Amino acid sequence: MGDEGSIKRDPGPLPGPVLFYNEVVIDHFMKPRNVGELSEADTDGFGLVGDPACGDQMKLWIAVRDDRIDRIAFKSFGCPGAIATSSMLTALAQGETIEAARRISDDDVIEALGGIPEKKRHCSLLGVRALQAAIEDWEQRRSRP
């Protein structure tokens, strides 16, 4: 028997919101850049941030040479939006001076990705906040005797 007797039904509206991600966001989610962590010896700054409202968490490590982010790595627990925005944030910060990296905003991340669904905009803050925390940690480590 083939499927001649099968009844095809329209599933109707999907339960909950449907989120559409563009190709750039999907690429950064499926193949995130700079995933992993730096060794303790290579780490000059570390940031750990989370969003208890949605359960996302991000750890970010930086290695700084001549006041530039020489290496950057992250581990993120979260939705596709959180992972993609974290990946893009690291791509934007890699090689930048500390001052330039400090100025990277969530809007910069979203623009570089070509946009993300409105309900996922808060995800872009995760990476930016983790980078700011890592830079602050780097500054504190430098000021210690």
Other Cβ atoms closer than 10 A to 113: 23
Q: What is the C-alpha separation between 65 and 58, in angstroms, rounded?
A: 23
Q: Which residues of 67-93 are buried (b: 16+ CB within 10 A; e: fewer)?
A: ebbebbbbbbebbbbbbbbbbbbbbbb
Non-local (6+) Cβ contacts of 47 within 8 A are 58, 59, 60, 129, 130, 131, 132, 133, 134, 135, 136, 137
What six digits make up the tokens of 122? 């808060």
Q: Which of 25, 60, 84, 123 is catalytic?
A: 123
Q: Which of 19, 35, 48, 54 is catalytic?
A: 54
Q: Is 54 a catalytic residue?
A: yes
Helix, strand or coil, per DSSP, at residue 76: strand
Phi and psi, residue 62, nearest 5°? -130, 145
Known catalytic residues? 54, 123
